[in-house]
Structure formats: structure tokens, C-alpha cells
Structure 1
Amino acid sequence: MRQRVLLAGIWEQENSDFERQMDELRGLADACEMEVVDVMVQKLPRMQPASYFGSGRLLEIKERLAESEAEAVVLLHECTPSQLRNLERSLNCRIIDRTQLILQIFERRARTKEARIQVEMAMCQYELPRLMHASDHWSRQAGGRNKGKGEQQLALDKRALQRRITSLKRELAGIQEKKETQRRFRQQSPLKKIALVGYTNAGKSTVLNHLLMLSEQAKEKQVLEQDLLFATLDTNVRLIQVKGHTPFLLSDTVGFLEHLPKPLLAAFDATLKEVQKADLLLHIIDISDPQFAIKREVTIQTLQRIGCAQLPCMEVYNKVDLCSDLQEEKRNDALYISAHSEEGMRQLLTALDAWQWEDSVALSWRFAYDQQRELSSLYTYADIETRTEKENGIYLQGKLPSKRRSQFRGYECEEI
């Protein structure tokens, strides 16, 4: 049964993007399988430091909770421990701030052991300051030099939580060491590494699955795709090998989000590493979203924050099938696709081919018949267009990345 919740937020004076943020909050609640029964908003210069809302609006929310039979209030912002405590006392119900809501989604979606550990660690880091403030009232039970029972219990709880965080970090380090070995192995591969990036729910997983289908890969290789925020939490790497096109490794990563809370940064660690190691970023943008320009900018700013702004990036506008008439003029430096209807997917592969071979040179080679090992090595790096077998050897024509030319210079010959 879906939990019934009331959405609530402070519309601060300088916030011109409030309505979009509330719509996104509703999307997050839906992703957490909550039923939104009402929405309450208060316009203020800034949120109240003690109780988030003003006293009058708190009374209105309490009445609305009783009328709608909502079980919890979901807040637009991340709140301080004291704000959460005061709200729970005033409203006599569970209070969930934006950070806690996203953590709950992550907890539901984590599939791999690494993702589950990262989410638990983020939840522990979120709970630590709230644990300290939750027991404030117990600390006043005894005076003088002796600590009260509440302070003693608080210290025990705090140490237990810190020990759990330390244990999780140690366990995560072991998993990440193995992952790093896998990344180093992929770095040695001649295949280009491409990472899908973009705002959450832009369609990155759908793009990956469609390319896997064109690759005739087994269905087991496909990843979860849903029309929900944060449908994908685990980072997945797949080989894309479509007939007639140059193969590459493609990473599906966790979607970005505006104002990403600090406790969640650890949960993005795997995505961060995959993005940093990529040769090319495919920035997937949901052009059917009226706010796509804002979300595009959020992704660009996030890439700058994580030190990936210098990586080559190709913008791909997805979901054109949901747009009866594109309001924006098409850009020549971007691609327009529909991962569901296949529109533009072949053009995407052609564009990726062109990118992979843009720094290459057209050459001819001759290999003796006893040089099969060297010939096999050339096939690893080159795009072979013709092969002719003659009495004095095997002649080939094709393209080779410029940085690999010196490795096979001794086999170059005049055109066949």
C-alpha cells in the first residue's frame, strides 16, 4: 500500500524556479511509491530557522493532515535536525526532508553490493547529526559534573554509528579495489570508453538498451528502464558491437540532480569514476521536458564540479517522438533521437564512428604469411576496409589511429 503524504515547501522570495522544484519533488515522491494527497506552500523571504514554516501555516498543515489522512509530510528542502524535531512535535507525524526522500529511493533501487553499501553509508552520515540532536532533551536530566543517562546513551549511539561508517568504508574499499582492477583492464582495451550522462530520467538506460538490441546482445545484458526519477542507481558497462559500426564500451550512470545533497555524494562515487575514465561523454537530454534547458545546464555544472568539463562531449536530444513540434531550432552540433522508436539511432552510431576515427590516417600494409601475430594486432586497432592475399603476402587497406601508426610503420606499403 502506498504511503499517503502531503508535499510542503517554502517559496523563498528570490526563488524563481519554485514551481519546477515542487514538480520534481512530486516526481521523487512518486519514485518512492508515495501517494501525494495534498500540497501546501508558504511564501516567505526565507525559511524559519526554528520550524521551517511560520506558526500560522503550521496550524493549517496540521488541519490538512487530519482531513487528508496523510501519514507524513515531505519537505522541499533539506532541513536542520532542530527543524525536523520541532516539526515532528508540532505536526505529530513523520517529517521527510528532500535528502531523506532521495536516500529512500536509493535504498529501494540499489542492486549491487557496492551500491547498497554506498547508500547505507550515506544514510549513516545523514543520521549522525540528527542522532546527536534527537537526544538533546535527555542530556538535561542530570546536572553538575556527572553526565546524565541521555548523554551516556547518546555517546554510545554516536560511537556505534561511527563504527558502522568505518566498517562500511573498509568493506567498500575492498570492493572498489576489485572494480579499479576491472577499470584498469578496460583502459588497456583498444575499445573507446563512452559514458552516458544527463539529468535523471532523461532516457540514458533506454538508449543503452536500444544499442544492446541493435548489437543483438542477450536480453540479460539489458538494464532496468522506467519512467521514474533515479530508475538506475547501479553503474553498468556494456560492449556495443553493431554490425557495420566500430565497437565501443558504453557506461550507463546515475542521473544527475539539481542541488545534490552532500550525504549522497558517496553514492555517486562509482558514476564519478566511470565518467572520469571515459573518452567521450554522451549527454542525453529529454527534449520533451519543458524544463530541458535548465536540466541541461545542471548537468553541465555538475560535470564542472566533478572535474570532467574538459572531456569531449556529444549532446543527444532524446524523446523527439514525444514532441509534435520542436519549439527549439535544431542545432547542427547535436543529435536528435528517440530511443523508443529508433529514430536517429543509426545516425548516432554513424556519429560515434566518425568521432572514433577523426584522428586517424588512411594507410596500406603488407604482412608476410608468417606474421600472423602482428597481423592480428593490426586488426585490434585498425578499421580494415580491404584485404587481398597475394603470393608475397597479405595486403590490407584501412584506417589506423595516428597514435598507433609507429607500431605498424614497418609494414606500410604503397596502395594496392
Structure 2
Amino acid sequence: MDLTDNLTPVVTIGLNRNSNSFDYSMTELNNLVEANNMKVVESLVQKLDKPDPATYFGKGKIEELTQVVIDDGVNTIVANDELSPSQIRNIEKNTKARIIDRTGLILEIFANRAQSREAKLQVELAKLKYQLPRLHTSASQRLDQQTGTSSGGGFTNRGAGESQYELNRRTLEKRITHVNAELKESSKADLTKRKQRDRSETPTVALVGYTNAGKSTVMNGMINLYGENEDKQVMVKNMLFATLDTSVRKLTLPDQKRFLLSDTVGFVSQLPHQLVQAFKSTLAEAASADLLIQVVDYSDPHRELMMKTTEETLAEIGITNVPMIVALNKADKLEVQYPNREGDNLIMSANDEDSLKELTTMIKEKIFKDYQTLSLLIPFDKGDVVSYLNDNTNILKTDYRDDGTVIKAELKDVDAKRFAKYVLTTD
């Protein structure tokens, strides 16, 4: 049995406005359709300088689309742009098929994938804000159904329909207020957690980038090498937006240096503004990070566009001044040498241990550059200090004297201050 038989067949449509990235955007749309458990049976495109304000496509193309819907036996159309309520209404009226625009499609995917309470609230908020200006589409449909063709009760029914519209609008606005309040409470809890991590002086590194670039694979590779619990791996799937929730893991390097690594939600071109705003709290992990690692699918010919999309999205949520390493991932799909480092760029494969170790070296150079190498004389009755240093610092040398233990170690600033009284001025 073909598993695709259970997928909803759709026709995708798009306007080519002489954009160099149009073909890629349509490919991406088809991938988004697949990520939403649908299958593309046909794509229809038209070259226009701007969309028809009433029907998106021109009149002739709408007629062609209607025939395609009939011939292919589909009842769903997916558009490559965000459509106005009137465009949605008119296309549905002409084709007798359901129309989903790009924004609606991404919102559906996010709604299906959200796992945590916060992610579900963020998606719900985005959907509510998307639905609010489109309310009169469904309200008008109810109005038409209520008035029908009779001539006697039209006025009364129209009033009832308008009342229903206002009621629906107030209900949506009330729910938006409620969800916003819940998200603020959730954000406070997350902020408290981040403040606790800040007080521990543990550096934070956030993986960012285009969806399906391999962020989760990079994270799992790092967990395999340095994680405290390998069972805490994150889900990996070759699909757009396979994961939405931000995952944070504590990593301990062989030299006892520790940092927190977070895997954030991926980006996509034309990511709906509602979602970008809704996911600000999730992406706060990236905003508060000491270092960003932008993971890029190096094997994708459109990688430059993906990098631009990532940087624009980060800028939109106010993340502009955080140091960044660019991890050009999936080099194993190309005939190139890896790992290969050029400045802050690394050509690598997340499935290659040497690549991950080179990435780790780059991370250490960025977040541990302020470490101090000190020699400390610890009295014998301060065994707890020796134990702490052995467990939490990179011990370079240990000697014993009549008056105590001499330890030469790399210390972060907070520990250097904490144990300043034990520091030897000379080895």
C-alpha cells in the first residue's frame, strides 16, 4: 500500500513577479505542503507584475485553475503568498475548492507540531491574529446562507448575521487578550530560569538557522560527545519544522568547561509576521545567548538566500549584536574537504566527529576567551575547594607542599574572584 494514498491531494499556485528566487519559493512551498501531510498533484504559476486584487490570478488563469481542480479531483488549493480575505473568498467561489495561503499553511504546520504549553499558546496567538481580519469572510458566507433567495426575511437575517460577526470578533479579541496574559506568565518563568543560569555564570550557545538545515543533528552530535545524559537527545527528522520547541542541554567538555546549548525553532522564507512575533519568547534563548551558531545547509544551492532569511528574521526580533559562528553543514553531500575552517565559518558535517570537535574548538575560543590560568595554594583543611576545582576547572598541574596543595588551573572570572585569596603570585 502506498502511504501517500492517505495524504490530502492539493494544487499549489504562485505568481512569478520576475523574482530570481521564485522557483525556489515554489519548491519550498511544495516541501511545506508535504510537511503538512499533503501531496502536490499539480502546480500552476502565472507571470504577473502584481496579484489581481480580487482573485490573485488573472481571469483566464482562474478558469484554468478551476478546470485543473475538476480534472485532478482535488478540493484544496495552496497559494504561495498571503492572500486577502476577498481573494480567498473569490477563489473559493470560482473553484469550489478550499484555499490555504502560505501563512495559513505554516500556521497549520505549527499547530500540528507544537508540543509544549508555551509553543501551543504561541501558535494559537498567531492563528487568532491571522483570523481576526479575515472574520468577515466566514461571516459573509453565513450571511449568504441565512438570507438565501427568499424576499421576505432578508433584512432580519442580515442583522442576525452581523450580530454573529460582532460576537465572533469579540470572542477572538477576548481570547487574544487571555493568551497574551498566559504567555506573559510563561515568559516570566522562562526569564527566571535564564536569570538563574546567568547567575551560575554558565555561557550559553544557541543554534539558529533555516528549518531542516541540521540544527538538531548538530545538537545531538554535541550531546553524544559532551552531554551529561545521552538520553536527552532532540528529535531529528528530514522535514521542514520537525521541531518547534526550544531544547536546552548542558555540555561538559573534557577540560571541565561547561556551557548550555539550545536548539531553536527554524526559519523559512516569508515566515508569517504573526509567528515571528509570537515566537519572540521562544527565541529569547537566542537573544540572551553569548554566541550564536548559524547552521546552514551547505549542499543546498539556495544557501545564500537561507542565510539572508535567517539574518533578517533575527534582526526582526531584535537579535543583532550577538557573536556568530557559521556552520556550513551537510558537506558530506558534496565533494569538498571537511572540516575546513575559514575564520568564523566552518565547512562541516554534523555526522562527522572531527567536524563537531572543530566546532567545539571555535566555540571555546569565543565563550571562554576570558578564562585565567592561575596557580593556587589550597590549605590541606580546604579539601572542599580542591574537590570543586577538580570537578569544575581544567587542572593543568597539581603539586604538594608542606603548607598545602598547589593547583594550576584555568578559571572563569567568577571562580578567579571566589578563590582570589589562594592565588600564588609566583608558581
Q: TM-score, normalised by structure 1?
A: 0.92
Residues 1:253 and 2:264 aligned together: yes
- Does the CA-based 8 Å contact 1:318-1:337 persist in structure 2? yes
1:299 CA drift (Å): 1.5
* Identical-residue share of aligned pairs (%): 37
* One-letter identity of the residue aligned with 1:256: F
Q: How does 1:83-162 map to 2 (within 5 A)?
A: 83-136=87-140, 138=143, 148-162=159-173
> What corresponds to 1:365 in structure 2?
376
1:31 corresponds to which of 20, 31, 35 = 35
Q: How does 1:207-356 map to 2 (within 5 A)?
A: 207-215=218-226, 217-244=228-255, 246-325=257-336, 331-356=342-367
Secondary structure of 1:35's aligned partner: strand
Counterparts of 2:120 and 2:157, CA distance in 1: 40
Q: Tell me how large the CA RMSD over aligned residues is.
A: 2.6
Structure 2: tracts of 5 or more residues without a match: 1-5, 148-152
> What corresponds to 2:203 in structure 1?
192
Residues 1:164 and 2:168 aligned together: no
Secondary structure of 1:269's aligned partner: coil
Residues 1:397 and 2:408 aligned together: yes
> What corresponds to 2:185 in structure 1?
174
After TM superposition, the structure 1 stretch with the greater mean CA deviation from structure 2, 90-99 or 172-181, is: 172-181
For the structure 1 residues 380 and 312, does the alpha-carbon distance in structure 2 shift closer, same or farther, using more than 3 Å as the test? farther
Residues 1:12 and 2:23 aligned together: no
Counterparts of 1:379 and 1:359, CA distance in 2: 20
Counterparts of 1:157 and 1:245, CA distance in 2: 57
Counterparts of 2:185 and 2:420, CA distance in 1: 43
- Does the CA-based 8 Å contact 1:235-1:253 persist in structure 2? yes
Counterparts of 1:364 and 1:249, CA distance in 2: 27
For the structure 1 residues 241 and 382, does the alpha-carbon distance in structure 2 shift closer, same or farther, using more than 3 Å as the test? closer
1:17 CA drift (Å): 1.3
State the aligned residue count. 414
For the structure 1 residues 355 and 376, does the alpha-carbon distance in structure 2 shift closer, same or farther, using more than 3 Å as the test? farther
1:186 CA drift (Å): 1.2
Secondary structure of 1:265's aligned partner: helix
Secondary structure of 1:384's aligned partner: strand
2:8 corresponds to which of 3, 9, 15 = 3
1:330 CA drift (Å): 6.4
1:245 CA drift (Å): 6.0
Structure 1: tracts of 5 or more residues without a match: none
Secondary structure of 2:280's aligned partner: helix
1:387 CA drift (Å): 2.2
1:98 CA drift (Å): 0.3
2:194 corresponds to which of 176, 179, 183 = 183
Secondary structure of 2:15's aligned partner: strand
1:221 CA drift (Å): 0.8
Secondary structure of 1:315's aligned partner: strand
1:372 CA drift (Å): 4.4
After TM superposition, the structure 1 stretch with the greater mean CA deviation from structure 2, 31-40 or 365-374, is: 365-374
- Does the CA-based 8 Å contact 2:35-2:240 persist in structure 1? yes
Secondary structure of 2:216's aligned partner: helix
1:332 CA drift (Å): 3.5
* One-letter identity of the residue aligned with 2:372: V
* One-letter identity of the residue aligned with 2:47: K
Counterparts of 2:76 and 2:186, CA distance in 1: 36
> What corresponds to 2:63 in structure 1?
59
Secondary structure of 2:121's aligned partner: helix
